[in-house]
Amino acid sequence: MSEITEDALVDARELMCPMPVMAATKAARRLEPGQILKIMATDKGALSDIPAWAESNGHELVEQSTEGTDFVFVVRTGEPD
Amino acid sequence: MSAEAVTTPHADLTEDDVRRIVKEEVASALRKDPGMRTGAIVASKGTLDWAYPPLILANAAAAVGMEVSVFFTFYGLNIVHKDFDKKLKVDPVGNPAMPMPVAMPDLVTAMPGMVSLASRMMKKRFSDHKVSSIGDLIDTAKEMEVRLIACQMTVDVFGYDQGDFLDGVEFGGAAAFMAHARKSNMTLFV
Protein backbone atom coordinates (compact mmCIF):
# COMPACT_ATOMS: atom_id res chain seq x y z
CA MET A 1 0.00 0.00 0.00
CA SER A 2 1.09 3.54 -0.73
CA GLU A 3 2.34 5.73 2.12
CA ILE A 4 1.66 8.84 0.08
CA THR A 5 -1.61 10.70 0.58
CA GLU A 6 -3.14 11.75 -2.69
CA ASP A 7 -4.67 15.15 -3.45
CA ALA A 8 -7.05 13.61 -5.97
CA LEU A 9 -8.17 10.10 -6.85
CA VAL A 10 -9.23 8.91 -10.30
CA ASP A 11 -11.17 5.69 -10.19
CA ALA A 12 -10.87 4.53 -13.81
CA ARG A 13 -11.55 0.90 -12.98
CA GLU A 14 -13.71 -0.83 -15.62
CA LEU A 15 -12.92 1.94 -18.14
CA MET A 16 -11.20 0.94 -21.35
CA CYS A 17 -8.69 2.76 -23.53
CA PRO A 18 -8.53 5.72 -23.92
CA MET A 19 -10.78 6.63 -21.00
CA PRO A 20 -8.32 6.04 -18.10
CA VAL A 21 -5.92 8.63 -19.54
CA MET A 22 -8.80 10.97 -20.36
CA ALA A 23 -9.99 10.80 -16.75
CA ALA A 24 -6.41 11.27 -15.52
CA THR A 25 -5.96 14.31 -17.79
CA LYS A 26 -9.13 15.97 -16.52
CA ALA A 27 -8.10 15.38 -12.90
CA ALA A 28 -4.49 16.52 -13.43
CA ARG A 29 -5.66 19.78 -15.00
CA ARG A 30 -7.48 20.64 -11.78
CA LEU A 31 -4.33 20.13 -9.66
CA GLU A 32 -1.43 22.45 -8.96
CA PRO A 33 2.09 21.37 -10.00
CA GLY A 34 3.61 19.09 -7.38
CA GLN A 35 0.30 17.67 -6.14
CA ILE A 36 -0.33 13.96 -5.98
CA LEU A 37 -2.82 12.16 -8.21
CA LYS A 38 -3.73 8.54 -7.62
CA ILE A 39 -5.16 6.62 -10.54
CA MET A 40 -6.82 3.22 -10.30
CA ALA A 41 -7.44 1.19 -13.44
CA THR A 42 -8.25 -2.34 -14.52
CA ASP A 43 -7.54 -1.98 -18.26
CA LYS A 44 -4.26 -3.81 -18.93
CA GLY A 45 -3.47 -1.15 -21.53
CA ALA A 46 -3.18 1.34 -18.66
CA LEU A 47 0.07 -0.39 -17.65
CA SER A 48 1.75 1.22 -20.63
CA ASP A 49 -0.67 4.12 -21.17
CA ILE A 50 -0.47 5.81 -17.76
CA PRO A 51 3.38 5.85 -17.63
CA ALA A 52 3.47 7.17 -21.24
CA TRP A 53 0.81 9.76 -20.44
CA ALA A 54 2.71 10.88 -17.33
CA GLU A 55 5.98 11.22 -19.21
CA SER A 56 4.40 13.13 -22.09
CA ASN A 57 2.85 15.63 -19.70
CA GLY A 58 5.91 16.06 -17.51
CA HIS A 59 4.32 14.28 -14.54
CA GLU A 60 6.40 12.00 -12.36
CA LEU A 61 5.28 8.42 -11.83
CA VAL A 62 6.09 8.02 -8.15
CA GLU A 63 4.68 4.57 -7.54
CA GLN A 64 3.04 1.78 -9.44
CA SER A 65 1.52 -1.31 -7.90
CA THR A 66 -1.03 -4.03 -8.44
CA GLU A 67 -3.71 -4.63 -5.81
CA GLY A 68 -5.70 -7.71 -6.78
CA THR A 69 -7.08 -6.89 -10.22
CA ASP A 70 -6.48 -3.14 -9.79
CA PHE A 71 -3.50 -1.30 -11.18
CA VAL A 72 -2.61 1.65 -8.99
CA PHE A 73 -0.50 4.58 -10.15
CA VAL A 74 0.70 7.47 -8.00
CA VAL A 75 1.71 10.51 -10.01
CA ARG A 76 3.19 13.85 -8.99
CA THR A 77 2.00 16.55 -11.36
CA GLY A 78 4.64 18.50 -13.24
CA GLU A 79 4.91 22.14 -14.26
CA PRO A 80 2.85 22.88 -17.36
CA ASP A 81 5.12 23.94 -20.20
CA MET B 1 43.28 45.27 -31.38
CA SER B 2 44.75 43.35 -28.46
CA ALA B 3 43.82 39.76 -27.59
CA GLU B 4 42.27 40.88 -24.26
CA ALA B 5 39.65 42.96 -26.05
CA VAL B 6 37.91 39.87 -27.47
CA THR B 7 37.74 37.75 -24.29
CA THR B 8 34.19 36.63 -23.58
CA PRO B 9 32.58 36.74 -20.15
CA HIS B 10 32.53 32.88 -20.09
CA ALA B 11 36.05 32.27 -21.29
CA ASP B 12 36.53 29.86 -18.37
CA LEU B 13 33.99 27.39 -19.86
CA THR B 14 35.57 24.12 -20.91
CA GLU B 15 34.66 22.30 -24.09
CA ASP B 16 32.71 19.78 -22.00
CA ASP B 17 30.70 22.60 -20.42
CA VAL B 18 29.82 23.96 -23.82
CA ARG B 19 28.84 20.51 -25.09
CA ARG B 20 26.63 19.96 -22.05
CA ILE B 21 24.95 23.36 -22.40
CA VAL B 22 24.31 22.88 -26.12
CA LYS B 23 22.85 19.41 -25.44
CA GLU B 24 20.52 20.78 -22.76
CA GLU B 25 19.42 23.69 -24.93
CA VAL B 26 18.72 21.40 -27.89
CA ALA B 27 16.75 18.98 -25.69
CA SER B 28 14.74 21.86 -24.28
CA ALA B 29 14.07 23.27 -27.76
CA LEU B 30 12.90 19.85 -28.96
CA ARG B 31 10.54 19.56 -26.01
CA LYS B 32 9.04 22.87 -27.04
CA ASP B 33 8.85 21.89 -30.73
CA PRO B 34 5.29 22.80 -31.74
CA GLY B 35 5.28 19.91 -34.23
CA MET B 36 5.46 17.47 -31.33
CA ARG B 37 2.41 19.07 -29.79
CA THR B 38 0.23 19.15 -32.85
CA GLY B 39 -1.66 16.34 -34.54
CA ALA B 40 -3.89 16.13 -37.57
CA ILE B 41 -6.16 13.20 -38.31
CA VAL B 42 -8.31 12.50 -41.37
CA ALA B 43 -11.43 10.41 -40.70
CA SER B 44 -12.71 9.16 -44.06
CA LYS B 45 -14.70 6.03 -43.13
CA GLY B 46 -18.35 6.04 -42.16
CA THR B 47 -18.87 2.65 -40.55
CA LEU B 48 -19.28 1.92 -36.85
CA ASP B 49 -16.00 0.01 -36.56
CA TRP B 50 -13.99 2.70 -38.36
CA ALA B 51 -15.53 5.51 -36.33
CA TYR B 52 -13.59 4.37 -33.26
CA PRO B 53 -9.92 4.69 -34.31
CA PRO B 54 -9.85 8.40 -35.24
CA LEU B 55 -11.80 9.35 -32.12
CA ILE B 56 -9.76 7.15 -29.76
CA LEU B 57 -6.49 8.45 -31.22
CA ALA B 58 -7.65 12.07 -31.15
CA ASN B 59 -8.61 11.74 -27.49
CA ALA B 60 -5.33 10.01 -26.61
CA ALA B 61 -3.37 12.71 -28.45
CA ALA B 62 -5.19 15.41 -26.49
CA ALA B 63 -4.45 13.51 -23.26
CA VAL B 64 -0.72 13.54 -23.95
CA GLY B 65 -0.88 17.29 -24.42
CA MET B 66 -1.34 17.69 -28.16
CA GLU B 67 -3.55 20.12 -30.02
CA VAL B 68 -5.46 17.88 -32.38
CA SER B 69 -7.84 18.40 -35.21
CA VAL B 70 -9.84 15.71 -36.94
CA PHE B 71 -10.90 16.39 -40.50
CA PHE B 72 -14.05 14.43 -41.37
CA THR B 73 -14.39 13.86 -45.07
CA PHE B 74 -16.45 11.67 -47.39
CA TYR B 75 -18.17 8.92 -45.37
CA GLY B 76 -16.36 10.08 -42.26
CA LEU B 77 -18.97 12.85 -42.08
CA ASN B 78 -21.29 10.21 -40.59
CA ILE B 79 -19.28 10.36 -37.37
CA VAL B 80 -20.12 14.00 -36.67
CA HIS B 81 -23.62 13.98 -38.16
CA LYS B 82 -26.40 14.62 -35.62
CA ASP B 83 -27.78 11.15 -36.49
CA PHE B 84 -24.41 9.41 -36.09
CA ASP B 85 -25.93 6.74 -33.87
CA LYS B 86 -28.28 5.63 -36.68
CA LYS B 87 -25.83 6.24 -39.52
CA LEU B 88 -22.85 4.30 -38.16
CA LYS B 89 -23.33 0.63 -38.98
CA VAL B 90 -21.15 -2.34 -39.67
CA ASP B 91 -21.65 -4.77 -42.54
CA PRO B 92 -20.31 -8.32 -42.24
CA VAL B 93 -20.36 -8.71 -46.05
CA GLY B 94 -16.88 -8.31 -47.44
CA ASN B 95 -15.42 -8.14 -43.96
CA PRO B 96 -13.89 -11.55 -43.25
CA ALA B 97 -12.13 -10.16 -40.16
CA MET B 98 -15.38 -9.49 -38.33
CA PRO B 99 -15.83 -12.00 -35.52
CA MET B 100 -19.11 -13.91 -35.90
CA PRO B 101 -20.66 -16.23 -33.30
CA VAL B 102 -20.71 -18.97 -35.94
CA ALA B 103 -19.09 -19.10 -39.35
CA MET B 104 -21.49 -17.60 -41.89
CA PRO B 105 -21.17 -17.56 -45.66
CA ASP B 106 -21.65 -14.22 -47.45
CA LEU B 107 -24.98 -15.52 -48.82
CA VAL B 108 -26.31 -15.52 -45.26
CA THR B 109 -24.69 -12.30 -44.08
CA ALA B 110 -26.03 -10.56 -47.21
CA MET B 111 -29.63 -11.25 -46.15
CA PRO B 112 -31.89 -8.32 -45.22
CA GLY B 113 -31.59 -7.26 -41.60
CA MET B 114 -28.03 -8.53 -41.20
CA VAL B 115 -26.49 -5.05 -41.18
CA SER B 116 -28.62 -3.86 -38.30
CA LEU B 117 -28.12 -7.17 -36.47
CA ALA B 118 -24.34 -6.97 -36.89
CA SER B 119 -24.36 -3.31 -35.82
CA ARG B 120 -26.34 -4.11 -32.67
CA MET B 121 -24.00 -7.02 -31.92
CA MET B 122 -20.93 -4.82 -32.27
CA LYS B 123 -22.37 -2.07 -30.05
CA LYS B 124 -23.26 -4.67 -27.43
CA ARG B 125 -19.83 -6.26 -27.59
CA PHE B 126 -18.15 -2.90 -27.13
CA SER B 127 -20.40 -1.87 -24.26
CA ASP B 128 -19.97 -5.31 -22.60
CA HIS B 129 -16.24 -4.63 -22.66
CA LYS B 130 -16.90 -1.15 -21.21
CA VAL B 131 -15.55 0.56 -24.29
CA SER B 132 -16.96 4.07 -24.56
CA SER B 133 -19.67 4.75 -27.11
CA ILE B 134 -19.03 6.96 -30.12
CA GLY B 135 -21.15 9.65 -28.43
CA ASP B 136 -18.98 9.54 -25.28
CA LEU B 137 -15.79 9.72 -27.35
CA ILE B 138 -17.11 12.77 -29.23
CA ASP B 139 -18.16 14.48 -25.99
CA THR B 140 -14.77 13.80 -24.40
CA ALA B 141 -12.97 15.04 -27.51
CA LYS B 142 -14.93 18.31 -27.38
CA GLU B 143 -14.18 18.69 -23.69
CA MET B 144 -10.46 18.22 -24.52
CA GLU B 145 -10.77 20.94 -27.18
CA VAL B 146 -10.12 18.57 -30.06
CA ARG B 147 -11.16 20.47 -33.20
CA LEU B 148 -13.73 18.59 -35.24
CA ILE B 149 -13.71 19.87 -38.79
CA ALA B 150 -16.16 18.68 -41.44
CA CYS B 151 -15.04 18.86 -45.05
CA GLN B 152 -17.25 21.51 -46.65
CA MET B 153 -16.94 20.07 -50.15
CA THR B 154 -18.24 16.63 -49.17
CA VAL B 155 -20.94 18.25 -46.98
CA ASP B 156 -22.19 19.93 -50.17
CA VAL B 157 -21.74 16.91 -52.45
CA PHE B 158 -23.67 14.62 -50.09
CA GLY B 159 -26.48 17.18 -49.88
CA TYR B 160 -26.04 18.00 -46.21
CA ASP B 161 -26.04 21.44 -44.69
CA GLN B 162 -24.06 22.71 -41.74
CA GLY B 163 -27.09 22.42 -39.46
CA ASP B 164 -27.05 18.62 -39.93
CA PHE B 165 -23.88 18.33 -37.86
CA LEU B 166 -23.21 18.22 -34.14
CA ASP B 167 -22.73 21.45 -32.20
CA GLY B 168 -19.13 22.53 -32.12
CA VAL B 169 -18.26 21.02 -35.51
CA GLU B 170 -16.32 23.48 -37.70
CA PHE B 171 -16.29 23.51 -41.49
CA GLY B 172 -13.24 23.80 -43.67
CA GLY B 173 -11.49 22.71 -46.81
CA ALA B 174 -8.45 20.67 -47.68
CA ALA B 175 -6.15 23.70 -47.57
CA ALA B 176 -7.31 24.54 -44.04
CA PHE B 177 -6.47 20.97 -43.04
CA MET B 178 -3.06 21.18 -44.74
CA ALA B 179 -2.24 24.44 -42.99
CA HIS B 180 -2.65 22.54 -39.72
CA ALA B 181 -1.18 19.22 -40.90
CA ARG B 182 2.09 20.75 -42.14
CA LYS B 183 2.80 21.89 -38.59
CA SER B 184 2.08 18.46 -37.14
CA ASN B 185 4.62 15.70 -36.65
CA MET B 186 1.69 13.31 -36.38
CA THR B 187 -0.67 13.08 -39.31
CA LEU B 188 -2.94 10.08 -39.69
CA PHE B 189 -5.31 9.04 -42.42
CA VAL B 190 -8.06 6.76 -41.20
Residue B110: burial class (beta carbons within 10 Å; 0-12, 13-18, 19+): middle
Q: C-alpha angle B135/B139/B142, rounded to 5°?
A: 140
Question: Is A17 one of the annotated active-site residues of the chain?
Answer: yes
Read off φ and ψ for residue B112, nearest 5 degrees: -55, 145
Tell me what pLDDT residue B18 has.
92
Q: Which helix (H) or strand (E) segment is A57 a member of?
A: none
Round to whole Å and give the CA distance between A49 and A62.
15
Cis, bond preceding A18 (omega within 30 deg of 0) = yes
Query: Hey, where are the domains in chain B?
Result: 38-189
Least confident of A22-26, B7-11, B24-28, B125-129: B7-11
Provide the ipTM: 0.86
Q: Which residues of A touch B (CB under 8 A)?
A: 14-19, 21-22, 24-26, 49, 52-53, 56-57, 81
Tell me what pLDDT residue B100 has.
79
Q: C-alpha angle B94/B117/B96, rounded to 5°?
A: 20
Taking only the tens place, the pLDDT of each residue in A25-63 is 999 999 999 999 999 999 999 999 999 999 999 999 999
Comparing CB atoms, the residue among A22, A52, A57 nearest residue B59 is: A22
Residue B90 has pLDDT above 60, yes or no: yes
Mutate to test the interface with B, among A15, A50, A56 (most CBs of B within 10 A): A56
Round to whole Å and give the CA distance between B93 and B184.
36
Comparing CB atoms, the residue among B60, B130, B143 nearest residue A21 is: B60
Closest CA to B60 of A17, A31, A37: A17
* B97 CA: distance to closest CA in chain A (Å): 21
Mutate to test the interface with B, among A22, A37, A43 (most CBs of B within 10 A): A22
| Chain A hits for B135, Cβ within 8 Å | none
Contact B80, B163 (CB under 8 A): no
Comparing CB atoms, the residue among B63, B65, B130 nearest residue A18 is: B63
Question: Domains (ranges, CATH) in chain A?
Answer: 8-76 (3.30.110.40)
Where b means 16+ CB within 10 Å and e means fewer, B58-72 reads: bbbbbbbebbbbbbb
Amino acid at B94: G
- The hierarchical CATH code for the domain B38-189 is 3.40.1260.10
Closest CA to A41 of A71, A17, A19, A62: A71
- Look at B56 and A16 and tell me if their CB atoms are within 8 Å: no
Round to whole Å and give the CA distance between A71 and A68.
8
- Look at B64 and A57 and tell me if their CB atoms are within 8 Å: yes
